[in-house]
Structure 1
Amino acid sequence: MTPSEGARAGTGRELEMLDSLLALGGLVLLRDSVEWEGRSLLKALVKKSALCGEQVHILGCEVSEEEFREGFDSDINNRLVYHDFFRDPLNWSKTEEAFPGGPLGALRAMCKRTDPVPVTIALDSLSWLLLRLPCTTLCQALHAVSHQDSCPGDSSSVGKVSVLGLLHEELHGPGPVGALSSLAQTEVTLGGTTGQASAHILCRRPRQRPTDQTQWFSILPDFSLDLQEG
């Protein structure tokens, strides 16, 4: 195999991993920890969705818009619709473009979309929301927005919805974590060994047994993946 063929093979494996995480739609739960952060993988998935031509909405609560956009090129940044709840989470400044009801209001508004274009909604982070909202309220909103393309009896052609939720697992008890886990179509638990990150990926397909795999990887400065042997 030549170096160029090897590079193409690596790119193919990288895209295969990202595709597998986004394939089912619904809630993609990214469970990270202090030792193994998940925002970089969240941004890699955001980049992948944007390059596929999807509408990409970012509900930014935990870091500034500038920090989240850092590392993306101008083409990717121009494709992102960023909703800034970091500077003014309760809309005290009364800006017209803000959603009433903050991040939860934004999620509920997205439940009413009728656009046939696939959409990805990135929640940065679910932990921020979970620390401020009742777990049942948040779970109901997540279920509504992530299943709006599969409502029985609904003849509207709403495009596939993927909700990418970053969860800092160490901040929450087993009850809330279990509730969010039960909603997820795809669940990614980040871990690893010294210098090498891993993602344990659990996929739940309707009427099929869950499947799981472990992928070793690193994330490059442009939020591409470098897949590695375990």
Structure 2
Amino acid sequence: MESVLALGGLVLLRDSVEWEGRSLLKALIKKSALCGERVHILGCEVSEDEFREGFDASVNSRLIYHDLFRDPLNWSGEALPGGPLEALQAMCKRTDPGPVTIALDSLSWLLLHLPCPALCQALCALSQQHSRPGGSSPVEPVRVLGLLHEELHGPGPLGALSSLAQAEVTLSGTMGQASAHILSWRPQQRPARQVDPTAHVTFNLHLSESERAAKDSLTLPFQFSSEKQQALLHPGPRQATGRIFYEPDAYDDLDQEDPDDDLDV
């Protein structure tokens, strides 16, 4: 749990019918709240009262709940007028100082109600680092915990979400004992190693300054320069015009009366 909470960005919690993941999601939320973080929750699958059940007052006071469960189709227009997509976009504009955790319960519900590209774009915006209000303070990490019921989705949406995640946690177990396995780990801000493909070749691929200058000043035969254009439009008095000279040899047949005489037909 400590290693998962040490990450910023998107963390996928992949559960199944046999091994539910909401308990793990709530445990991570509780840990974040006890560390002094503000926690935004987008609740889609259970009511707010049911989700808050089990948290004490100190944890509940730090939870900011955005309720989609009460009016999932936005018939009343009161809970979240803009629907799930605008709710996600509004979270991107948060002004809370310090680190923030955003919990999505669940990504599966959002995938069933939003186009996958729109959801991925919103998740990218959510998981980006944000600065404090005013922009003068250092950036603060944003952690997005997304509960995902992987049995409900095909390989396309699962692959798209997996490519966005910094870590993936899959819940499984044996003999009635649940366990959580970190499937992938992508630490943020790790510098990419630059590899020079010309480092071990046996010949020189680089030009010296003089060679580069000569290359740049060279006019290729197929390049139609302004000098060539002027020479064609205004030929000089001494410029020779093109002529073709032909000298027949012994095997040429110049008899116009029988041009096919040499074919022996």
Do the aligned partners of residues 61 and 67 (structure 1) sit closer, same or farther apart at CA in structure 2, a change above 3 Å counting?
same
Q: How does 1:131-170 map to 2 (within 5 A)?
A: 131-149=112-130, 157-170=138-151
Partner of 1:204 in structure 2?
Answer: 186
CA distance in 2, matches of 1:23, 1:34: 28
CA distance in 2, matches of 1:55, 1:101: 23
Partner of 1:32 in structure 2?
Answer: 15
**How far apart are residue 94 of structure 1 and its match?**
3.1
**How far apart are residue 133 of structure 1 and its match?**
0.8
Q: Secondary structure at the match of 2:140?
A: coil
Counterpart contact for 2:67–2:80, Cα < 8 Å: no
1:117 aligns with 2:69: no
Q: Secondary structure at the match of 1:113?
A: coil
Q: TM-score, normalised by structure 2?
A: 0.66
Larger Rg: 2
Partner of 1:49 in structure 2?
Answer: 32
Q: TM-score, normalised by structure 1?
A: 0.76
Partner of 1:171 in structure 2?
Answer: 152
Q: Secondary structure at the match of 2:171?
A: strand
1:19 aligns with 2:18: no
Out of 172, 181, 184, the residue aligned to residue 162 of structure 2 is: 181
- Structure 2: gaps (5+ residues): 193-265
Q: What amino acid is the match of 1:84?
A: D
Q: What amino acid is the match of 2:27?
A: A
Q: Which has the higher helix share?
A: 1
Larger relative contact order, structure 1 or 2 (CA cutoff 8 Å, min sep 6): 1
Q: What amino acid is the match of 1:100?
A: P
Q: Secondary structure at the match of 1:27?
A: strand
CA distance in 1, matches of 2:137, 2:115: 31
- Structure 1: gaps (5+ residues): 1-17, 210-230
**How far apart are residue 71 of structure 1 and its match?**
1.2
1:66-98 Cα distance to aligned partner (Å, 9 max, x none): 111111112211221111100112433233xx4
CA distance in 2, matches of 1:75, 1:46: 12
Do the aligned partners of residues 101 and 171 (structure 1) sit closer, same or farther apart at CA in structure 2, a change above 3 Å counting?
same
CA distance in 1, matches of 2:9, 2:38: 15
Q: Which has the higher strand share?
A: 1
CA distance in 2, matches of 1:196, 1:63: 25
Q: What amino acid is the match of 2:31?
A: K
